[in-house]
Structure 1
């Protein structure tokens, strides 16, 4: 057989290897093992042992890695379920700083004082060196378990009048109560219920559609659809602010952003607590977001006639040589114009679906699954198949074309098309070539997070939910979780692809699949023992707690 394969040439050998790799990935997927593991060298500073650890890629889309995407989806479902109907405030107790954290803050203070002195003395080189050191220390501060920045925000954003628009209704404002829990209701038999809500919010219509495709694509408002998608995340933020003001308590939510058949983003939101439906409709009608950016409706530069970069002044008109206004100058003009209008105003549509949900009911479980239904899919994936393929491709193409030229942020290169230098302009910018994911077909204008979770939803971070999952499995196996107090026991370094001592991806997959099979067999044995059932399965030797191949694939 070997001689026959050899006679058929190297091409057949390459195809055979490729087929084996595909089979290995299929087997890994069936066993829930990451198909794109990232190899790291891990060195134990106590024992000096050095080994390769395969770390899951952590992809959230099935198109990249189905096992990792499904695992993340399951953790999100657990997070949603755990925080939805809490009966006590999910506020963690205050934690005292340790010696390492204190030392880092003191060291950061010394560096800042040195930098201020160097800046006052005009020592530019010393300032640059100290800025680099401060950046490194800030990264260490985050690694040491402290969130946020010590320095905080430097310089606030521009603001305009906060007076409400005349075409938006006013909202009642209640005194805020220091709680995240909604109201409870008691039945005549004394049973107490704590209901919550499930909302679905959509964007307005841009034209008649049938099966997700415009009836008349020429009259469909693709520009408005593109701008609404680009600023949808800001509209959600404003809705939450208005909702809390009207509710009178710190409303907590778990929300996901998904595409409709017409490819517009819409929001599914689980809310802890309830509000009257009439008030919710009032909040939706009164919520809007104004985009105070320079005008972007008149194309000034296109095709071969594009602004030219000048080292001294930035971008200039290629014909007249006039310098294009900078971003700050364009905003100054906008602020000086008393009759100026916002570039765009985004609102929700008239459709609002509100449903009450009780804890522990089948409806609650169904809503949790629905919230996580599309988390492993890209926003640009086809939704439904009721429309003609040609019409759908044309619809997607028109929307992507509109998104290509719309400015997505102050730093977007598309501002050059409308005669304004982007914020932080640099050489090489071209309209229609912005690298933001908002312009990509896979995102359809929405560049925000797919999952939106308030800070006090479950009282835990995603890392803590993952740790709960891992601790449950270890407890089921009768093993203790590895102590996390010594954060400096291991030294991690990403392995180079050219390192000859690092196993190939195929070999890593085989090892991880074998490890997963051993873990799963032992879990089945433990469960059967708890149920009093004898299994004719040979005992397996579980890896030690220092072996991460089993940990990262199972937990």
Structure 2
């Protein structure tokens, strides 16, 4: 019984060779010759718990993306071209069609309004054909937009507001010896304290630890991050670009590390962090109205949820928002904690490589597995936070609003408080429903797919430079027309997963042989197997 299973041996070999352990079998058919071949396609998982090789490959790709945009000397994205006369004429026509559509709808002629919609679609297609990006969608909201006062809170310091220049490249400095250098920064932001904690992150007094505020801060932390970058750009007067990753502290609070292109005075960073907040204008959730033993029921006649005792309809979401007065306080205010660290970084140094590795250290782990949960107090700490997140509303459509006597937006039968399928309620997310990696639009001027293609093209160039070609990462998989089809479970042509893994390992060995031959022809220079050289990940 202690002998290893063959499947486990094959998976271990695949992991050692960087091969996906959950490949998807794809049938590749040559449309010119009719020849078919089963190809194992990597699953593309980003968590090591699902597929360690794919997760590590995704982490390395993020490292390359971070390095590419951190210390740029030139703007990565040029300014868009001015609109042509044809584009402006089409935009004018579209405006006239929108006005005609509004008049027709006011007259009650929905058939003619549909015809105008078709014309608007044709105009949008012509604009896209001219190379115009984006789409001017009509405003079809069936209810007025709710507007809250933008006046700053009295407990938050004021910020300078400058016109934001389109510049994204950092400022240069000249040393006494004439050396010119362009430094950047590594920034760390954390949430506020919810109570005293031990070194292992567990609270000193669990009874007084504010798990409710911790849960709410985690849920709304993405909004706070967006507001911080907005405030920072307005305060410094230029388009600050960033590559940021989120991880939890040992106390399980969200923790943001960010690589910033260029430098910002530390005093300005502290001022912006202290002045940044996000107000949650939701109905109050301080006191539940119902519990798990007495919950609202769905009434088909009323088309919504009603009180289980009286049968009275619950307050609708829009009515609950209308009940928030101008003098009322928001349901929750998210702020950063006083801890802030900003370090200067220069390009092409060992420090840069270490910081990139630190920035992407936990990307292959779920948030609840970033730190070892070994002791009973740590497990109980996670359980209490998970329980607070379970009953906290995560969005206007969350089922947990029923506990507070409010119908969620777009309510439907079958909603049960405490069983919302939102991402923030999962234990492995610890309340954070946003993306783990946050990259500004003008960081490198390329998408993640572009960076992936660049790394494949790098290997292809190295191999072709020394006469090596083939069906692999450097060669064209099929010079003729091909068609791809995913083999579903139960397909008689689908091979066993062990066979796919062995095939992929053999293919990886063949590719590695080509790379070794190219390296030998280059005089022994190091060529990585997946793309351009990366910074040290230590």
What is the SS of the residue equivalent to 1:516? helix
Distance 2:148 2:393 in 1: 20
What is the SS of the residue equivalent to 2:257? strand
Whether the 8 Å CA contact 1:313–1:323 is kept in 2: the answer is no
The CA deviation at 1:157 is 5.4
Structure 2 gap ranges (5+):
83-90, 532-538
What is the SS of the residue equivalent to 1:515? helix
1:192 lines up with 2:180 in the alignment: yes
1:464 lines up with 2:457 in the alignment: no
Residue of structure 2 in register with 1:172 after alignment: 160
Residue of structure 1 in register with 2:88 after alignment: none
Q: Which of residues 276, 289, 293 is equivalent to 1:300?
A: 289
Residue of structure 2 in register with 1:51 after alignment: 37
> What TM-score does the superposition give when structure 1 sets the normalisation length?
0.82
The CA deviation at 1:483 is 7.4
What is the SS of the residue equivalent to 2:288? coil
Whether the 8 Å CA contact 2:455–2:530 is kept in 1: the answer is no
CA deviation map 1:205-258 (0-9, x unaligned): 100000211011011000000000000000000000000001110000000000
Q: Which of residues 59, 68, 73 is equivalent to 1:87?
A: 73
1:319 lines up with 2:309 in the alignment: yes
- Point out the more displaced range, 306-315 or 55-64: 306-315
- Trace 1:370-519 onto structure 2 (pairs within 5 A): 370-381=358-369, 383-384=371-372, 389-478=375-464, 479=469, 489-519=481-511
Residue of structure 2 in register with 1:247 after alignment: 236
Q: Which of residues 319, 325, 330 is equivalent to 1:329?
A: 319
Distance 1:280 1:93 in 2: 28
- Point out the more displaced range, 450-459 or 498-507: 498-507
Distance 1:500 1:149 in 2: 45
- Trace 1:102-113 onto structure 2 (pairs within 5 A): none
Residue of structure 2 in register with 1:102 after alignment: none
Distance 1:347 1:313 in 2: 39
The CA deviation at 1:358 is 0.8
What is the SS of the residue equivalent to 1:42? strand
Distance 2:453 2:265 in 1: 38
Whether the 8 Å CA contact 2:459–2:530 is kept in 1: the answer is no
Whether the 8 Å CA contact 1:415–1:422 is kept in 2: the answer is yes
Distance 2:10 2:322 in 1: 60
What is the SS of the residue equivalent to 1:407? coil
- Point out the more displaced range, 424-433 or 301-310: 301-310
Whether the 8 Å CA contact 2:166–2:238 is kept in 1: the answer is yes
CA deviation map 1:451-509 (0-9, x unaligned): 0000110111100110011111112221496679x9x9443332211110121211111
What is the SS of the residue equivalent to 1:511? helix
CA deviation map 1:15-63 (0-9, x unaligned): 98x8111111111110000000112233344444333332211111100
> What TM-score does the superposition give when structure 2 sets the normalisation length?
0.84
The CA deviation at 1:285 is 0.5
Residue of structure 2 in register with 1:277 after alignment: 266
Number of matched pairs: 498
The CA deviation at 1:530 is 1.4
1:73 lines up with 2:59 in the alignment: yes
1:232 lines up with 2:218 in the alignment: no
Label 1:157 to 1:452 Cα distance change in 2 as closer, same or farther (>3 A). farther
Label 1:348 to 1:506 Cα distance change in 2 as closer, same or farther (>3 A). same
1:290 lines up with 2:276 in the alignment: no
Label 1:146 to 1:467 Cα distance change in 2 as closer, same or farther (>3 A). farther
